[in-house]
Structure 1
Amino acid sequence: MFSSLRTRWQARWQQFFASRSPRQASLTLTQKSIYILPTRGGFVFLLLLLVLLVAGINYQNNLIYGLTFWLATVFLLATWHTYQNMAGLQLSARATASVFAGSTAQFELALQAGRNKHALQLAVRTTHGDSQSVATVGETLVRLLWSEPTTQRGWCKPERLTLSSSAPFGLFRCWAYAWLDARALVYPRPIDAVIMTDGAGQGETRPLGSTTTQELDGFRPYRAGDHRKHIHWATLAKGQPLQTREQALQQENESWVLWDHYVGTIEQRLSAMCHRVLILSEQDKLFGLQLPDQQVTPARGHEHRAQCLQALALYRLAEEAS
């Protein structure tokens, strides 16, 4: 009973904080998003002030009165300076790379303080308990990496981040919650599966037209995305610009990753097709992808591999979202 009440209470608090700081691409900490309370040392300090005040009243000692009011002034000033330590802090986040379901998605957090300001002793904590500390955040961007677990394909958005600091006096703890609008693409988990071939025994291979083969035809300057098997490493060893082997045009079979060649649930089929795409891409084969409502024309290279994996990752997710 108590655990259920605690869960409901925490859920309501989370909704309250989320309503005050909705998910957005970048966030600047202001009075609306910053919360502050005394630390354990701060409560001890308050107890000391109370003892001094009672002693001053009891003994009618002006020196004790003066010390009490001076320390109370320091306590109030500590509130302002602790708040100013985090006020104006700018945050943004982005995903570093796409991942496969079951692995962790990496996000990069960028922190920057306002002009002529610094944030001291800042701690960044995730909902999973991971914590990182930054000694100083100034006008120069400070970048931190954190991980989010993934369980299914699609877009993965980071959970809440908690930023906190007790600087500069340690009497107050200032904190803020941040839901940043970044997302990482999560591909299906690759699973090796038996391919169901058609009656002619052609399987995934279809002879279609003229395409490139492994016959050497010349060299050209290296372009981003060229497969490492076609790079002419000898030119780099000689200190010359990197080059890529050109391939002559000849008849070649095109491979296809077809939806109908796999059995099982939707997720099982997508995982098996994902595994096949990775194999064909690693072998530098010319291949295409066919889903019930989408087709990717045959090609090769890293961009084509990413296009096929994205099609598998987002298959029917737009329909479910609508």
Structure 2
Amino acid sequence: MATFTKRGDGQWQAKVRKKGYPVQSKTFKTKVRAEQWARNVESEMDRGVFLSTSIAESTLLSELVDRYLTEVAPSKKSEADIKVRGKLLKGKLGDRVLAAITPLTVKEFRDMRLETVKGDTVRKEMSLLSRILKLAQQEWDIYLPRGNPVGSVAMPPKGKGRDRRLQSGEQERLLREAKEYGGYIEDLIHLALETGARRGELVNLQWANINMLKRTAILSDTKNGDDREIPLSSKAIEVIERQPHHITGFLFPIRGDSVTQAFSRVCQNAKIKDLRFHDLRHEATSRFFEMGLETMEVSAITGHKDLAMLKRYTHLKAEDLAKKLG
């Protein structure tokens, strides 16, 4: 049964009561719209398909993002990146209630962001928005009347993967400046080139997981969630042997962001442009193939489960292939 009450501000409040359902109420500027809404609600209740949109109509996206950052993000390895993207979503769309976020809203957000950042960045931002809205529906019992609007909007095309490799003379300059810079950065560069390990895997490597007799190391809690045992070359053993044992048990007691900062300064001092620490993983992986290792052997070292993803790391130098061809 629906009732209608005229409020002091000239608006009309509609209330629908039906056994088995919580009371539904909503305020409108005219009685005609209030009656129309009430008829729709009663009809859906009669047919057993009614789902309340009240939470979606009263919850701001900023509130949902905050909940995701508090309850979900801390369990993710990419928590820091998620927080940055979450802050951006709050700044651009946070003042909208969930029910007002439509495919057009998402499309306008996508196009606006593409004016200032690359497509891959926008893809990650849209993906985070989609994950948050999906979780709201599946786990937080929030009914979105239009479903997940991100799914109706085309993602920007994937950008070309980086294929930056060390050029002639760059490794020597890089290591020279790293030695001059001091700290752990020189040996981190050496070990990255010898193992293809990620920055996070190297700074989380502990002495307890290194077997000098077997010449292996276990990388724990890697990007894909699994531990990985990797072989250690003679050069890698040499680098490890000269490290002092720290009370923390870590081979390199240094934060990942400190590694990035040091590497950036070393590159600047070496006058090397557009080189990131992660590019050393790409360089190492490519070198494994140039040594003659098979795809599955390289995968066992680098931890790539998607061989298609591994393929983009195999940018073998044309001049080296020419020598093999004779």
Q: TM-score, normalised by structure 1?
A: 0.24
Q: TM-score, normalised by structure 2?
A: 0.24
Larger helix proportion of the pair = 2
Rg larger for? 1
Larger strand proportion of the pair = 1
